Amino acid sequence: MAEPPLGPIEQTPLRRQVAERLRTAIVTGRLRPGSPLTETALAEQLQVSRAPIREAIQDLENDGLVETLPYRGKRVKPLTVREVTEIREMRQRFEVMAVQRIGSRGAAVDELWGPCRAMAAAAERGDRDALIAADEAFHRTLIQLSDHRLLAQLWGGLYLRIHQIMALRNDRDVDLADIAAAHPPIVKALEAGDVECAVRLVSRHFDALADFDPASIADGAE
């Protein structure tokens, strides 16, 4: 029996819509670390009742993007120097593992060229948000090509904070063209089957991130 040409319209719950709007604002740096999240103000801005705001903020707290301060309410969770350093280290380990698995499986990596082209185009336009989105697509695809379910699952949660760090870092004097140019050599090394070179390039990619001072985007320290 042939499937119908049109599927049903999905109505996304308001809670999820609000959560996604706030999540995007946090990970793109529009809501800065330490920013208070007041239900009344957010409800007025988004033109919704306070109930979905409260529920959405709880979802974001579960994501690790929001925290509760005793007697002071909710705020965007500040980034500490320690957290930024640990996230960078975990990202490097995850992606080195992904590259090694891709190499051992001989997996095709054609899918990585689309995000590379999107990054180059965004850098040429000076579009920071588009470049970050394309960068996320590149690294998400790299993880998916490793064909490791647990790695992909852990990566999903980690990348929310990675995206936030990148957005805040790129608010500063960072050459978008340099970021875009760092990715094609990784793809070429994988296509050539040179896993050692690909691992070296991925590691160098993160060494560049270590050049900036995490304290410049951290509101607190541990």
Which tens digit of pLDDT belongs to each residue from 17-52? 999 999 989 988 889 888 999 999 999 999 999 999
What is the 8-class DSSP label of residue 77?
Answer: P
Q: What domains, with CATH codes, occur in the chain? A: 14-76 (1.10.10.10), 81-216 (1.20.120.530)
Pick the more confident residue, 165 or 186: 186
% of the chain exceeding 90 in pLDDT: 55
The tokens describing 140, both together, are 């998400």
Coil, strand or helix at 37 = strand
Tell whether the model's pLDDT for residue 222 goes beyond 50. Answer: no
CB–CB of 139/95 below 8 Å? yes
Q: Give mean pLDDT, residues 203-214.
A: 65
The tokens describing 12, both together, are 């996304």
Instruction: Say which amino acid occupies 23.
Output: R
Pick the more confident residue, 5 or 78: 78
Lowest mean pLDDT across 6-15, 92-101, 155-164, 186-195: 6-15
Tell whether the model's pLDDT for residue 190 goes beyond 60. Answer: yes
Pick the more confident residue, 159 or 55: 55
Q: Give mean pLDDT, residues 77-84.
A: 85
Coil, strand or helix at 202 = helix
The model's confidence at residue 84, banded by pLDDT at 50, 70 and 90, is: confident
The tokens describing 2, both together, are 């042939």
Alpha helices in 73-127 (DSSP H): 81-105, 113-125
Mean residue pLDDT of the chain comes to 86
Coil, strand or helix at 220 = strand
Whether the model pTM is above 0.75: yes
pLDDT at position 54: 94
Pick the more confident residue, 197 or 222: 197
pLDDT at position 221: 43
